Amino acid sequence: MLRVGQEEIKAIGEVLKSGKMFRYHPGGQCDRFEKRYAKFLGVKHVCMTASGTNALTAALAGLGIGPGDEVVVPSFTYMATAIAVVAVGAIPVIIDVDESTLMDPNALDDAVGPRTRAVIPVHMWGLPCDMRRILKVARKHQLLVLEDACQGVGGAYEGRKLGTLGHAGAFSFNYFKNMTCGEGGAVVTSGSPVFEKARCMIDCCSFYWKGRKATFTPFVSNGARASEIEGAMMNVQLDRVPGLLRATRAQKKRILRETARTGLQASPCHSLDHECGTHVLYLLPTEKQAQDFATQVGCGIAGRTGRHVYTEWDPIFALQGAHHEAMNPFRFPENRGCRRKYTRDMCARSLDILNRTVMIGTHPDRTREEVTTRIQKIQEAASRVLGT
């Protein structure tokens, strides 16, 4: 959550007073947000969901991913990225990140096998993946690209908004994200058939309210519809996000500039002028130095963020792909040809990088003086830890 204020309270209050909390009605808040967000992103279609996890699942279904397919995911992401793949009946293939803590395009190229149909680059901490290289590898192998932009709301890569560079994008609007309505998300795409299927995954009855093409047959799905309360809050949040991210981006650039001569190695950024700027990352020479630095500055270590590191994805390691064994994709005959072996040391290179990467959060509400104090802390810690 970057900022929530009186405007959100007013917008939600108006929905409550109107009594119109169900999304399908003329002039509704969800419809308005979807149109505005599509324009903001530069895509044809947006559909709000109940969560980012659901946005990922709906987008994969929209892309036609299912049993018999492998989908490549990075070793560093919230476990929902891998779990969404299994939720549509497919099998995740977990690959290394590089020094940026994001998907390594070379690892992607190496990982593609005969069953690989799609890849999910994840823009962790609002940091854009190396999309130029990832898209090149994807084109070479004819892979579908779903961007997990759950942590990248409002950010862009070389001027193009995150979530719009591949065939579809998934966003989360949960409490921790750059725009929030408590819990929520969105699927975005410019592919109309992809959208129609994704919307059916989000709300099996959407065709009843929105109409459907004669060629489309609705299918069984779970409910993950957004409410007008969420729509109202998101309309306010969308007005806020550009200004907030301008502030975080400027703050990050200042921190990087003023710590450039400390000997600290900033983690590579693939689009510093357009990213979210919500985190500053440094790669320390050793794990011990990263721990000492983090203690002194009071910041986090990427490899110690629990559920974000693949070693913590228990349902995947247990091959527990569904609530009922007959529905478990890890047991499906269609998936016999897919790679279904996961070991905790399979991405040792990622663990080494993540355990040496420290993360310092920025915030638009920090004063200039507070940022100065933070920079001094970084400089002092660097000097002690690196001996510079």
Ligand X SMILES: Cc1ncc(COP(=O)(O)O)c(C=O)c1O
Instruction: Summarize as ranges the residues that interact with ligand X (CB under 6 A).
Output: 51-53, 77-78, 80-81, 122, 148, 150-151, 172, 174, 185
Instruction: Identify which of residues 68 and 74 has a Cβ nearer to ligand X in the complex.
Output: 74
Question: What whole-number distance in Å separates Cα of residue 341 and Cα of residue 350?
Answer: 18
Contact yes or no for 179/267 (Cβ under 8 A): no
CA distance readout (Å), 284 to 190, 266, 273, 305, 357: 41, 9, 24, 17, 6
CA distance 267 to 100: 5
According to DSSP, residue 267 is labeled P
- The answer to whether 166 touches 157, Cβ cutoff 8 Å, is no
Residue facing ligand X at closest CB distance:
52
Torsion, CA 297, CA 298, CA 299, CA 304, rounded to 10 = 120
Instruction: For the CB of residue 239, give the shortest distance to ligand X in the complex, in Å.
Output: 21
Within 13 Å and on the Cβ side, how many CA atoms surround 185?
27
Minimum Å gap between C-beta 149 and ligand X is 8
> Would you call 283 helix, strand, or coil by DSSP?
strand
Q: Which is nearer to ligand X, 80 or 338 (CB)?
A: 80
Pick from 24, 371, 304, 53: nearest CA to 183: 53
Shortest distance, position 315 Cβ to ligand X, whole Å: 14
Measured from the CB atom, the residue of 49 and 235 that comes closer to ligand X is: 49
Name the residue nearer to ligand X (CB basis): 84 or 236.
Answer: 84
Least gap, CB of 287 to ligand X (angstroms): 24
- Our CB check for ligand X shows the closer of 92 and 185 to be 185
Residue 367 beta carbon to ligand X: minimum distance, rounded to whole angstroms: 28
User: Which of 142, 124, 140, 135 minimizes the C-alpha distance to 164?
Assistant: 135
Question: Of 148 and 275, which CB lies nearer to ligand X in the complex structure?
Answer: 148
The residue among 80 and 144 lying less far from ligand X, judged by its C-beta, is 80
Which residues, including other chains, have CB under 8 Å from residue 246's CB and lie 6 or more apart?
A: none
Minimum CB distance to ligand X, residue 194 (Å): 19
Instruction: Write down the least CB distance from residue 173 to ligand X, Å.
Output: 7
